[in-house]
Amino acid sequence: MISANYLKFTLLFNLVILQLFGIEFKTIAQCSINANPSAFYIGNITPDTIWQLTNCITGGDYFTFTAVAGQQYNFTFCSNGGTAGWDTEISINNAFNTGVTGAYNDDFCGIASQLSWTATAAGTFAVYITGFGCANNANCATLAYQMVNPPPPPINLVVQTGGNNSNAPWLVQNIFLSGCSQVSGVNFTGNGQGIGYFTNGASIGIQEGIIISSGAVTNAEGPNNQSGVTTAFGTPGDANLTTLTSFNPCGPPSATFDASVLTFTFVPLTSSVQFQYVFASEEYDEWVCSSFDDVFGFFISGPGIAGQQNIALVPGAGNTYVGVNTVNLTNNSAYYNQNPTGSIMTQYDGYTDVMTAIATGLTPCQTYTIKLAVADAGDSVLDSAVFLAANSFNAGTAVSVSSFVPSSGTQDAYEGCQDGYFQFTRGDITDLSAPVTLSLIITGTATPGTDYQTLPITVTIPAGQISYQLPVIAYADLLSEGSESIIVQVIELQCNCTYPPPVQLNIFDSTAPFSAFINSPPTICQGEQALLAVIASGSTYTPYTYLWSNGISAPAVFVTPTVTTSYSVTVTDDCGRSTNAVVQVVVNNPPPNVFVAPAGPFCSNAPSVLLSASVGGGTWSGPGVTPSTGIFNPTIAASNGAGPYTIIYTLSNSCGSSIDSTQIVVNTIQAPVIIPQSICLGTSAILNAGSGYSSYIWSGGAGSTQFVTVNPANSSNYSVTVTNAQGCTSTASTTVNVFPLPNVLASSNSPVCVGSNIALTSTPAGGSGTYNTFVWSGPTGSGFASLLQNPVPFTANAANAGPYSVTVTDTNGCTASDNAVVTVNPLPTANAGVDKTICTGQSTNLTATGGGTYFWSTGATTATISVSPDSTTTYTVTVTSAGGCAASDNTVVTVNPLPTANAGVDKTICTGQSTNLTATGGGTYLWSTGATTATISVYPDSTTTYTVTVTSAGGCAASDNVSVTVNQATTPTITGPNTVCTAQSITLSGSPTGGTWQSS
């Protein structure tokens, strides 16, 4: 079990540590729990589902945070990491800390130690912290804060009817009322289905309460899956509601139907009454601004009120009633909420924000009547309803009074040291929106102004706070008076219109002395610290102050004496009384000093050595050293990585250890690595012993440098001894192998003509007897290369003429080369001349060029020959140069046939007539008349012969004649009688003969 003294010591020690590390405490303080715009703003916090802590804060500070509607938040100083040594107060205000939202807690760390607040709307809010009466407002505290859980998703409204759920008196008394309102005469008119009890209403802003509707209240349950929900009761409307429709902003008044009316009487304790509600309707949004202005009203009547006054009004809109046509997407839209199709919250298509109905100017303890009514307007189709928030009807509440002393939890205060408080608490904490002012009568045996600071005769519980604490400051008059009393009577009506009982606070003289003791510190060695902490108890006047003999004013101090020393502390309580405590800190001598003798440097291949120290019996540590003996092995040390190496010698006693160390250098030398080499006879090898050495000695006098060149005639061994800058040596050796050389003979089929094949061969011998590669290269510009022993024959051209070199490499890598020269003779340029065209029966000459000798395909051997082919013929000539290289060329003689000219058949005409002559045979036509068409028209006067010449497309021509005979014309005569009788035959004679007769 942890003792109380230990806890006190821990707290004191933590405070000392904070001061030692320079943590500062702010001293700005605001003394009122009321929202205060001049308070000190610390910054923004982000509550989460896990508890979090603020940094050091003092009274008068506030934070801001963003809240989600429906989300619960917790704040505390007394658990989950929160701390405060003073009477803290917490409130939730708006973002500028200028208005209380209704969350308040007077936190005594044990009495209502956690403030839980649920946001009714989303937004930014302030958490404001102060101390009661500025008590210890400058002290440091930490606030713990948490978001309880994520905001709930929209839920389905649940409506219950039947039994008490449809019993109007039961619903009003048990669901609607709060405080201590005196209610009677509860009555409901309308269809019994028009009233019920609802829960799960958080999504519309009211968790539970009473619902009254112009239709069946069970229609209110979601989801919103019908175009228009209606229960037409056929019951009458209400006169007051009909009158309200005359103020319809969209048209004339409407008759009302299916009214549901809840009425009751009540006796208020204050001058006002209020409650919360939400209006919803199926008339939204289709019938907005029509005569179907479903309407409701809350009508109050009684002393001081003329007639019936409607208190269900649109906020900030004067006397505008709340209805379908006054709160919608167009009018007062800030208070309207659409309910989309499919929403699970409710069946109604729209609903208002949570609104507050308030009636003021009431006379306390008088009887008033309130009428809560809703009805259809214009017709009885489509339901509307009003949701009344549970416990929201508040017509006044009682106030309780108590007295206490925070430090003791009693009603007993002490002069000059402990103050007390009178606390005034609201009886109803569901509505904190308005302040409560109370009148006081103060009596008792204690004298105001002499025994205590005079108290006011009125106090106010601010809006947003559940209670208010009135401080009582008792004066230290140094007189022995025994117990004295202060009695406070509140002049405030209770639920039965009587006053609450008086409350007493006692004042006593100072209490007995207190004591203090210092913890017993351990024995220390020179240079060490000891923590001294004093624990004071017995005084009711706290906190204590401290003063140590070394001038430190804290409950705990660290001291570093070099010799045994006594320390004292004076502890003073809050009343100025003091007590002393003394403690002795014992200091022991330090252990003897030790020294380690220097050693090294060593080479890494050197033998082990024994290290020495000025005092024996200690322990060695470090790379390569044996802990118990101090034997140092350079080789082992070097295997631990690069040095130098720290070797530590430790000699310990009861008060600590004496330590000395030495740095040992171990010089490493890397053994040289010489790569073995193989060379061909007649070449040399370069041996490399590696860099980083100061000297090199090669065997056989090969040299004294890092690199040496050797050219042995036979395979030989070589060794080198190296020395580094630290004088460490190392030796390595290698072998140089010597291989015999091969030889090769290159040959070709030179000379060759252009276009024939070049053949190359190579014949190797000697060396290892096995040959890995053959590398051929050709004349510059030839582009020839081959890796074959005998390359594939290739076509010769002028660029291929010249030397061809082959290099052969045997399996030992030794090479030999040889050349073969190739001569390439050019081909002659054979030209048989251009192609020719002749007609049948013609001849032509063909002439070849190119030099040398000629041989035609006709057998002729001259450069020029004459040919007369009957048809188209190709002639070839072969030209042979002086170097024996030949080339051929062709020429074509095309023989075109003669056309068949036909001028047509001879014709006979008479004098003065014309005739057409038509030639055939193709190509072009030329008549002896000069015409060039195939058909011509002629008009000869006498017999004439016409000639036509026909030329084919190939340019060959032929002619033909045609004769046109022209006959001379004669005049015919008829002889015979000129007159004949009817039916008489006659003979006529015509001249010349041979003609034909025709009558007319």
Which residues are CB-contacts of 404 (< 8 A; sequence separation ≥ 6)?
410, 411, 420, 421, 423
Report the alpha-carbon distance of residue 731 to residue 718 in Å, rounded.
11
Report the alpha-carbon distance of residue 210 to residue 391 in Å, rounded.
10
- Other C-beta atoms within 10 Å of 542: how many? 15
Q: Report the SS3 class of residue 55.
A: coil
- Predicted pLDDT at 915: 94
Which residues are CB-contacts of 500 (< 8 A; sequence separation ≥ 6)?
398, 399, 400, 401, 490, 492, 494
- Look at strands 752-753 and 824-825 and give their pairing: parallel
Does 644 map to a domain? yes
Which residues are CB-contacts of 326 (< 8 A; sequence separation ≥ 6)?
249, 314, 317, 320, 332
Rounded to the nearest integer, the mean pLDDT of the chain is: 83
Closest CA to 706 of 686, 719, 691, 716: 691
Angle at 626 between CA 622 and CA 632, to 5 degrees: 75
Angle at 717 between CA 714 and CA 718, to 5 degrees: 125
Report the alpha-carbon distance of residue 279 to residue 387 in Å, rounded.
6
Do 287 and 174 reside in the same domain of the chain?
Answer: yes
* 493: amino acid identity, one letter: L
Report the alpha-carbon distance of residue 460 to residue 584 in Å, rounded.
57
Query: Which tokens in the block code for residue 351?
Result: 């609903």
Please give the tally of structural domains in the chain. 9
Does 17 map to a domain? yes
Do 380 and 261 reside in the same domain of the chain?
Answer: yes
* Partners of 313 in beta bridges: 321
* Partners of 721 in beta bridges: 697, 731
- Predicted pLDDT at 875: 94
Report the alpha-carbon distance of residue 592 to residue 598 in Å, rounded.
20
- Predicted pLDDT at 418: 63
Closest CA to 375 of 532, 190, 560: 190
CATH at 181: 2.60.120.260
DSSP 239: H
Query: Is residue 398 within 8 Å of residue 223, measured between CB atoms?
Result: no
Does 989 map to a domain? no
Question: Residue 584: which H helix or E strand, with range?
Answer: strand 578-585
Report the alpha-carbon distance of residue 65 to residue 92 in Å, rounded.
10
Distance of CA 570 to the CA centre of its chain: 61
- Predicted pLDDT at 113: 54
Do 892 and 801 reside in the same domain of the chain?
Answer: no
Report the alpha-carbon distance of residue 226 to residue 213 in Å, rounded.
17
| % of the chain beyond a pLDDT of 70 | 88
Q: Decide which of 102, 126, 147 is a domain's last residue.
A: 147
Closest CA to 594 of 507, 529, 656: 656
- Look at strands 420-426 and 467-472 and give their pairing: antiparallel
Do 346 and 432 reside in the same domain of the chain?
Answer: no
* Partners of 130 in beta bridges: 89
DSSP 457: S
- Predicted pLDDT at 425: 82
Note the pTM of the prediction, 2 decimals: 0.38
Distance of CA 245 to the CA centre of its chain: 55
Report the alpha-carbon distance of residue 266 to residue 270 in Å, rounded.
12
- Predicted pLDDT at 18: 31
Do 716 and 863 reside in the same domain of the chain?
Answer: no
Query: Is residue 745 within 8 Å of residue 772, measured between CB atoms?
Result: no
Query: Which tokens in the block code for residue 93?
Result: 């205000």
Query: Which tokens in the block code for residue 832?
Result: 């048989």
Report the alpha-carbon distance of residue 419 to residue 414 in Å, rounded.
7
HSE value, Cβ hemisphere, 13 Å, CA-based, for 138 = 5
Does 436 map to a domain? yes
Q: pLDDT digit string (tens) for 296-349?
A: 899 999 999 999 999 999 998 888 999 998 999 989 998 999 888 888 889 899
Do 522 and 467 reside in the same domain of the chain?
Answer: no
Do 331 and 192 reside in the same domain of the chain?
Answer: yes
Do 369 and 459 reside in the same domain of the chain?
Answer: no
Alpha-helical regions (H) of 148-273: 168-171, 239-244
For residue 712, give its domain range.
677-739
Query: 30 burial class (0-12, 13-18, 19+ CB within 10 angstroms)?
Result: buried
The label of the residue with tokens 């100072």 reads 510
Angle at 120 between CA 114 and CA 121, to 5 degrees: 125
CATH at 713: 2.60.40.10
| % of the chain beyond a pLDDT of 90 | 30
Does 634 map to a domain? yes
CA R_g for the chain:
66
- Predicted pLDDT at 86: 67
Do 733 and 747 reside in the same domain of the chain?
Answer: no
Query: Is residue 193 within 8 Å of residue 217, measured between CB atoms?
Result: yes
Name residues of the chain where pLDDT drops below 50. 1-36, 110-112
- Predicted pLDDT at 760: 92
Q: Decide which of 324, 357, 389 is a domain's last residue.
A: 389
Question: Residue 470: which H helix or E strand, with range?
Answer: strand 467-472
- Look at strands 656-664 and 631-632 and give their pairing: unpaired
Does 672 map to a domain? no
- Predicted pLDDT at 35: 44
Report the alpha-carbon distance of residue 319 to residue 459 in Å, rounded.
34
Do 49 and 129 reside in the same domain of the chain?
Answer: yes
CATH at 12: 2.60.120.380
Does 152 map to a domain? no
Strand ranges (E), 319-398:
336-338, 350-352, 355-359, 368-377, 384-389
Query: Which tokens in the block code for residue 100?
Result: 């209380």
Does 89 map to a domain? yes
The label of the residue with tokens 């029509």 reads 290
- Predicted pLDDT at 412: 79
DSSP 192: G
Do 735 and 746 reside in the same domain of the chain?
Answer: no
Do 851 and 862 reside in the same domain of the chain?
Answer: yes
Q: Decide which of 799, 825, 851 is a domain's last residue.
A: 825
Q: pLDDT digit string (tens) for 177-216?
A: 876 667 899 999 999 999 999 999 888 889 999 999 999 9
